Chain A
Amino acid sequence: MAAMRYAQILCAVLLCGCLGNESAGKGSSGGTLAISTGGDPDALIPSLLQTTQAAQIVDMVYDRLADIGDSLNILGDRGFTPRLADRWTWAKDSMSIAFHINPNAKWHDGQAVRSNDVRFTIVSTKDSTLGSPTASVITNIDSVSTPDSATAVFWFHQRSPQQFYDAVYQNPIMPEHVWKGIAPAGWRGSEAAKNPIGSGPYRFVRWIPRAAVELAADTANYRGAPKLSRLIWSIAPDFNAALTRFFTGETDLFPQLRPENLTEVAKHPDLKARSYNALAYMFLQFNLRDPANHDRPHPIFGNRELRRALTMATDRAALVRSTFDTLAQPALGPTLRVYPTTDPNLPQIPYDLPRARQILDSLGWRVTTSDSMRTRNGRPLRFTITVPSTSQPRVQLAVLLQEQFRRAGVQADIEKLEFPVVVEKDRKRNFDAVVGQWNTNPSPGAVRGSWGTAGSRSANGNNYGSYENPVFDAYVDSALNAFDPAKRRSYFTTAYQTIIQDAPAIWLAELRAVVGYHSRLQITTLRRDAWWAHIPEWSIPRDKRIPRDNAPVTQSPATPSPSPAAASGTGRKTP
């Protein structure tokens, strides 16, 4: 039936005279990659995007000066590969880096990429009226000068081991001539945001809200045309609908397979699944301050020994296995095993239920009631675990934690709330314990904001549990400023050991993501921070193509006018 459907569509394409042989034009080898996704991108503006969907599209449309390698090294420039900058030069004192723009690099509207574009990108990102989330992570960049149109020099406030990473990773370069006339506050709603013009391997074609986003290969790209002619994100807000689109062949790839879907994938000889370590970890965070009065310690979690006892009462391995099967492993701390700075043998607080009971007894929390729950001075050892109702794994973890705490005589109530409400409670520090998740990036530096004193003391900082330990802060700072990788790792190890023993959270799971894809698709590496990073190298062999692979590639509004001869083969234009 599906074959009949494709045949009908193919006939219709033939009838309207649109079918172009190798319609992608020179360089691109053809094929369409259709990706199932769960929602619209938020903003197709590099400095403002927040969702994964937007990151995928922006990374295809825009280019960086250099791209981080698959090893995700962030020290110096090792592993980084040239993109818009074909080379770069470090100043002798390392206080500046001069990037030399590839002379062949062009925007999708035909204009050349200039050093002014680089300066504009950094200046606009740092502009407080724009409200870019990236601004806080590029504070070490002082300014960008442009001695000539092909050279952009980044000046830094201080030498830093990851200053090259800071300069390139967070900053896809934007065209000044497109954006300079628009006030930063109006960027999100501008036409330029709806029809982005970049210099990346794919040109923007169209975005039909809540339906699809389409990109076409930039066949004249300075780095050569990507292999696939077209990328389409097919949007289905319901998980099952998005998954079914993948299983029925309407899409080629589904990046969010769950453990329970793998059996179904195995039944389809045409489908494959590949997992990789995601840059994300889950935890049960304790609020160390009293929600009713932040000047006081929390009546339960203010006590370090009690937090340690709760950690001891938690069989994290069983909990992770029940929730994620093999697609996660117990987290080590506020870090990930994939970071070179993480010692995979970090000492943990062991699962030891009898010992946990002893500690709770010694703290005065004793079982005195008939329901086997602990009390002290008439007050029950009872608290609430807040969890976003939209996250099935987090809800499941909360239920399992509740049961494990019950065995220790601790009563935990589960409060399932809408995601915005959970975030508000986090921000106001109005919770007992919350099942949280941090999605990080290749730098382990985010730990300073999410677990350090600065993040705790700031009125709306990200350290919601208000954990503070100057030893932890000092070692994190030392690690982030260490140029020697061995010292860096050593400092981080001490910092992690400190926070693990203080137990401001129970470190639950380090996640693996699973991408499902059709076997006709020849994929390369799935990079841990961005599985889509190598899409321009992916391909579909000619003998495995289906009608949608041969659909004519639509020209984007930004594309320079093609010659009449070229235009005749491109089919009908879409808005």
Chain B
Amino acid sequence: MIRYIARRLGQAVVIVAIVAAITFALIHLAPGDPFSAVLDNPNVSETVRETLRAQYGLDRPLPEQFVRYVGALARGEMGWSFSHDRPVREVLASALPNTVLLMGVALVASFALGILVALLQVARRGSLIDHSLSGITLLFFSMPDFWLAILSLLALTYWLPIFPVGGAVDPVMHEYLSLGGRIVDRLKHLALPALTLTLLASASVARYQRAALLDVLPADYIRTARLKGLTEKEILRRHALRNALLPIITLIGLSFPALLTGAFFIERIFAWPGMGYAVVNAIGTRDYPLVVGGVIIGSIMVTLGSLLADLLYAWADPRLRGH
């Protein structure tokens, strides 16, 4: 197992390096300039433009820039963010805890809710509850995330002002609250974006899980369990669910990168200062080092997510352990 993990990690390093190189080339070849906003000013001269390019090393040939970047990366530096005027490492480090908190809560909640909904649907399959939940999950499954985010923002902050509008904390009062007050403040700000993400993600989890459960229910071992006199609840929980978890494990593996890369639209609409917004905004502003840094983090998470899914497969299905 350890050799297997080591081999997969070795492959991951190669994949991350290739993805970083391709991203570096593509973002530099994309039209546009990191200093577009600066230059869109009738008073800004060409000298300023050249000075800025020189200050950030952009006047050098692209291969030289790449070699310098790789050298810096080998020393643990991810470069300097043009748009934040801070090291990329600092920008990502400040965004990371917010994204992990939001996505962590949302993923755990959405998988828990999705599996529960699927279990309820299968337990009452064919009933009005099953059909209603199918309709609701289909509705959320097909709903654009930005639309639901704006709708929930309007509904729960403006029409019915239960939650604060956005941000990770109250920018005015947070620093002056007691520890308990600050925790409550943070939770109140977390609630709405996490709820939006949970509703969206749990719909797909529920649909996958329901289909997987329905696939395993006709199996011989389920029939045997019924013949042994187990209740439908026990059959679902102890026999069907574990065997129907494989598609969900795939989903977990696919969702894992989102833990760090975030959900751009949700972060933007709720002004949540996380990774998704930082990196996508960096693409728009041509903040090359921040884009590449974000992509490196994302690709590491993709490969780790894939590894995690494989390990979970092996845990869930003993037949796969030998492979």
Q: Which residues of A contact B (CB under 8 A)?
A: 1-2, 5, 8-9, 12-13, 15-16, 18, 32, 34, 40, 42-43, 50-51, 128-137, 185, 188-189, 193, 208-212, 214, 232, 234-238, 240-242, 244-245, 247-248, 250, 418-421, 423-425, 427, 438-441, 446, 449-450, 458-462, 547-548, 551-552, 554, 571-572, 574
Q: Is B277 an interface residue (CB 8 A)?
A: yes
- Partner of A440 from the list B42, B162, B278 (CB cut-off 8 Å) is B42
**A34 B52 Cβ-Cβ under 8 A:** no
Closest residue of chain B to A462 (Cβ to Cβ) is: B42
- Partner of B162 from the list A1, A15, A50, A424 (CB cut-off 8 Å) is A1
**A212 B171 Cβ-Cβ under 8 A:** yes
**B176 A189 Cβ-Cβ under 8 A:** no
- For B248-269 the 0/1 string (1 means CB < 8 A from A) is 0000000000000000000011
Closest residue of chain A to B94 (Cβ to Cβ) is: A209
**B271 A132 Cβ-Cβ under 8 A:** no
**A248 B273 Cβ-Cβ under 8 A:** no
- Partner of A244 from the list B32, B158, B181 (CB cut-off 8 Å) is B158
A460 CA / B52 CA spacing, docked (Å): 14
Query: Can you give 10 contacting A-B residue pairs, CB < 8 Å?
Result: A16-B177, A34-B171, A136-B48, A189-B85, A234-B172, A240-B269, A250-B164, A420-B284, A449-B43, A572-B176
Instruction: State whether A244 and B165 are in contact (beta carbons under 8 Å apart), knowing that A133-B48, A440-B42, A551-B173 are contacts in the complex.
Output: yes
Q: Which residues of B contact A (CB under 8 A)?
A: 31-34, 36-49, 51-52, 55, 80, 83-86, 91, 94-95, 150, 153-154, 157-158, 160-162, 164-173, 175-178, 180-181, 184-185, 268-271, 273, 277-278, 281, 284-286
A214 CA / B270 CA spacing, docked (Å): 20
**A236 B177 Cβ-Cβ under 8 A:** no
Instruction: State whether A238 and B32 are in contact (beta carbons under 8 Å apart), knowing that A32-B172, A130-B51 are contacts in the complex.
Output: no
The minimal Cβ–Cβ distance linking B274 to chain A, given in whole angstroms, is: 9
**A572 B36 Cβ-Cβ under 8 A:** no
A572 CA / B179 CA spacing, docked (Å): 12
**B37 A248 Cβ-Cβ under 8 A:** no
- Partner of A13 from the list B177, B180, B278 (CB cut-off 8 Å) is B177
The minimal Cβ–Cβ distance linking B203 to chain A, given in whole angstroms, is: 23
A439 CA / B44 CA spacing, docked (Å): 12
**B85 A193 Cβ-Cβ under 8 A:** yes
**A131 B52 Cβ-Cβ under 8 A:** yes
**A238 B268 Cβ-Cβ under 8 A:** yes
Contacts of A250 in B (CB 8 A): 164-165
Contacts of A128 in B (CB 8 A): 47, 51
- Partner of A236 from the list B36, B91, B167 (CB cut-off 8 Å) is B167
A3 CA / B157 CA spacing, docked (Å): 13
The minimal Cβ–Cβ distance linking A26 to chain B, given in whole angstroms, is: 21
- Partner of B31 from the list A5, A420, A547 (CB cut-off 8 Å) is A420
Contacts of B171 in A (CB 8 A): 34, 208, 211-212, 214, 232, 234-235
- Partner of A245 from the list B52, B160, B166, B278 (CB cut-off 8 Å) is B166
**B48 A131 Cβ-Cβ under 8 A:** yes
Contacts of B169 in A (CB 8 A): 211
Contacts of B178 in A (CB 8 A): 12, 15-16
A420 CA / B95 CA spacing, docked (Å): 24
A170 CA / B221 CA spacing, docked (Å): 81
- Partner of A446 from the list B36, B42, B84 (CB cut-off 8 Å) is B42
**A211 B273 Cβ-Cβ under 8 A:** yes
Closest residue of chain B to A205 (Cβ to Cβ) is: B175
Q: In the complex, given contacts A12-B177, A13-B176, what are 12 additional A-B residue pairs having Cβ atoms less than 8 angstroms apart?
A: A9-B177, A131-B51, A133-B41, A133-B44, A211-B167, A248-B165, A250-B165, A420-B285, A423-B40, A424-B32, A446-B42, A551-B172
Contacts of A238 in B (CB 8 A): 166, 268-269, 271
**A424 B273 Cβ-Cβ under 8 A:** no
Closest residue of chain B to A40 (Cβ to Cβ) is: B84
**B42 A419 Cβ-Cβ under 8 A:** no
The minimal Cβ–Cβ distance linking A244 to chain B, given in whole angstroms, is: 5
**A460 B33 Cβ-Cβ under 8 A:** no
Instruction: State whether A209 and B167 are in contact (beta carbons under 8 Å apart), knowing that A135-B48, A446-B42, A449-B42 are contacts in the complex.
Output: no
The minimal Cβ–Cβ distance linking A91 to chain B, given in whole angstroms, is: 27
Contacts of B177 in A (CB 8 A): 9, 12-13, 16
Contacts of B165 in A (CB 8 A): 236, 241, 244-245, 248, 250
Closest residue of chain A to B171 (Cβ to Cβ) is: A212
